[in-house]
Structure 1
Amino acid sequence: MKGQHNQGVLNQPHRKRNYKPAIIIITILINGLVALLAGLPGVENFNAFDVKILPLMNAIFNSFTFIFLLAALIAIMKKNVVVHRRFIYTAFITTTLFLVTYVAHHFLSASTPYGGSGIMAGVYYFILITHIILAAVIVPLALTSVARAWNMEDERHRKIARWTMPLWLYVSLTGVLVYIMISPYY
């Protein structure tokens, strides 16, 4: 009797969930918070700790995200879905930690202007602008990619992941490059 009950559960089709409202809300909250913080001056006289450590932490979290995404890409190319999934979840964790330190830094201190000039300023601003735009775009793309995987929509997951993966790799790598280029001016 017990075996028959379990057999019936296993033969039921997977129930797809609608993650779209959550994806929209999370995207608006994250991108809205980042946009809001960009216009704020930062907390005056904050001295609980040196906030200059936060951009370094951002770069470290972005570096780990890049490495985890690369490992996830290699795993899926080898058709190892379990390892791919684990690295994607780990990349989400390091991206979330990045977001926490990023928000904290921009809440606690004013933006640091880039002090370079000439061609390097052009390179810096190109990297920065493309990084900012694609970072806003990657939020719904990454969430939608994961939602489609959770719903076992393999073909739809593959279609969006073909865009999500390279863009997320670009965003995490350029986050590190932005830090390297602006760090002398902190």
Structure 2
Amino acid sequence: MTKATLAGTGILRKGSKQKNYTPLIWTLAIFINGLITVSYFLPKIDTLKHYNFSVLPLVNAVLNGSTFIALLTALIAVNKKNELLHRSFVFLAFAFTSLFLFSYLLYHFSTPSTQFGGSGVIKGIYFFILLTHIFLAVLIVPLALITMGFGLNGNIIKHRKVAAWTMPIWLYVSLTGVIVYLMISPYYPH
């Protein structure tokens, strides 16, 4: 099929120029998830130990909450057929997530991990939320980038199909990021 034929079927927007984001998406996904993994296993960076980053977990929770709100607004906008507002709030969610990633990595490259101090049922709930959060956070990196790539290329049908998975997962990851913070915050060293 030609681009004109695809545009006529609604698969592509008329006059859209296709870009291949695949190499960038997978490079970013591997790099970001790799950096996060390495931040847990490498020794903490000595030069960063001289700074007090104790506020960063709170900053991360605020950024996760902001991502959640931006995504909800984007979802409401697309349901009301307001594409411009939808796009703006998805970009805002990406901005919050990018700031979160920087802050998260700075904290974890400089500060030892905090152990959850609760016990009993609450400990089980905490670890269930944490493990599902981590697993889905790994998945959301490429999913969000793929979804955005389809949207930027005007491939609306593929964008909607992937977004049907991406949006609820990204909402869950951003919300559970806040919940994990609230559950572990009493155990942070002060």
TM score, norm. by length of structure 2? 0.89
Would you say 1:46 and 2:52 are equivalent positions?
no
Name which one, 1 or 2, has greater alpha-carbon Rg.
1
CA shift for structure 1 position 39: 1.3
Name structure 1 gaps, 5 residues minimum.
1-11
Find 1:137's aligned residue among 124, 136, 139.
Answer: 139
In the TM superposition, what whole-angstrom CA distance separates every residue of 1:16-45 from its partner, at most 9, and x where no partner exists?
A: 111000000000000000011111342458
Q: Give me the whole-angstrom Cα distance separating, in 2, the residues matched to 1:62 and 1:130.
A: 16
State the SS of the aligned residue for 2:15.
Answer: coil
Match of 2:155 among 153, 166, 169: 153
Contact 1:112 1:185 in 2 (8 A): yes
Q: Offset at 1:164? A: 0.3
Q: Which amino acid aligns with 1:31?
A: N
Q: Which of 173, 177, 182 is matched with 2:179 structurally?
A: 177
User: How much does 1:15 deviate?
Assistant: 2.0
CA deviation after TM superposition for structure 1 residue 47, in Å: 2.6
SS in 1 for 2:44: coil
* Counterpart code for 2:174: S
Distance 1:41 1:117 in 2: 28
Unaligned runs of 5+ in 2: 1-13
CA drift of 1:51 comes to 1.2
The answer (yes or no) to whether the contact 1:58–1:102 under 8 Å persists in 2 is yes
Quote the Cα distance in structure 2 between the aligned partners of 1:41 and 1:58: 22
CA root-mean-square deviation = 1.2
Q: Is the 8 A contact 1:64 1:94 kept in 2?
A: yes
After the TM superposition, which residues 70-149 of structure 1 pair with which residues of structure 2 at under 5 Å, given as runs? 70-149=72-151
Give the TM-score normalised by structure 1.
0.91
CA distance in 1, matches of 2:128, 2:105: 22
